[in-house]
Structure 1
Amino acid sequence: MNSRQINRIIAGGQTGVDRAAFDFALENEIEIGGFIPKNRRAEDGRISEKYKNLVETETENPAERTKLNVKMADATLILSHGELTGGSHLTKKFAEKYQKPFLHLDLSVLTIAQATEKTRRWIASADYKNLNVAGPRASEDAKIYQKARDFFRELLS
Structure 2
Amino acid sequence: MTLARIVSGGQTGVDRGALDAALDAGFPCGGWCPQERLAEDGAIPARYPLAELSGGYKERTLRNVLETDGTAVFYFGELEGGTHQTVSYCQQHRKPCELLNAAQLTPEQCALELAAFIARHGIAALNVAGPRASKVPQAHGFAYAAIKALILASRERS
Q: TM-score, normalised by structure 1?
A: 0.91
Q: Secondary structure at the match of 2:85?
A: helix
Aligned to 2:91: 96
CA distance in 2, matches of 1:20, 1:113: 15
Aligned to 2:52: 56
Structure 1 stretches lacking a partner, 5+ long: none
1:130 equivalent to 2:130? Answer: no
% of aligned pairs identical?
Answer: 39
1:86 equivalent to 2:54? Answer: no
Per the TM alignment, residue 82 of structure 1 is displaced from its structure 2 partner at its CA by 1.0
Counterpart mapping for 1:18-37 below 5 A: 18-37=15-34
8 Å Cα contact 2:25/2:148 also seen in 1 = no
The structure 1 segments of at least 4 consecutive aligned residues displaced by more than 4 Å after TM superposition are: none
Aligned to 2:156: none
Structure 2 stretches lacking a partner, 5+ long: 154-158
8 Å Cα contact 2:34/2:52 also seen in 1 = yes
Per the TM alignment, residue 91 of structure 1 is displaced from its structure 2 partner at its CA by 0.1
Q: Secondary structure at the match of 1:153?
A: helix
Residue 114 (structure 1) aligned to one of 109, 132, 135:
109
RMSD (CA atoms):
1.4
1:145 equivalent to 2:140? Answer: yes
CA distance in 1, matches of 2:106, 2:21: 19
Aligned length: 152
Q: TM-score, normalised by structure 2?
A: 0.91
Q: Secondary structure at the match of 2:133?
A: coil
